[in-house]
Amino acid sequence: MNQIEIIKNLPYTNPFLFVDELTEISENGVTGNYTFNESAFFYEGHFKGNPITPGVILTETMAQIGVVCLGIYLLKDEILSTKKKTQIALTSSQVDFYLPVLPNEKVTVISEKEYFRFNKLKCKVKMMNAKNELVCRGTISGMIIAK
């Protein structure tokens, strides 16, 4: 399954799709990126006159690229052979934030699989900005099911 097929199988659409491209993917991890468009709905009120990407959106971006895309890749045989749709449930996240992300900024998410058992995927994730500075990092896990 290639990156376009993985993104096509994501259970999200605009304005809540935070994956532009996947640059690397394997059984052990994934790397991908997203550029936050200045017209995104959340910038209007966060914060007045000083728009900054909310931490919950950064966490969601890391979850979509780092956990869901990887989960789809790991379940690719089941998804492709049965045409099943992917269902996701975030089970836990712990993220530390270091730098803000501004409108029109491109970020890269790097995820490393810790384990995938009984459809539960746990990954170490980090987000880097275009200057290769650490924006945030943590651990995110979720249940990935093809139904």
Catalytic residue numbers?
46
Q: How far is CA 69 from the centre of its chain?
A: 7
Q: Residue 10's closest CA among 56, 69, 62?
A: 69
The upper half-sphere exposure of residue 131, i.e. CA atoms within 13 Å in the direction of its Cβ, equals 6
Angle at 10 between CA 8 and CA 12, to 5 degrees: 110
Separation between Cα atoms, residue 51 and residue 73, nearest integer Å: 34
Angle at 134 between CA 91 and CA 9, to 5 degrees: 45
Q: How far is CA 89 from the centre of its chain?
A: 13
Angle at 143 between CA 137 and CA 147, to 5 degrees: 140
What residues form DSSP beta bridges with 88?
144
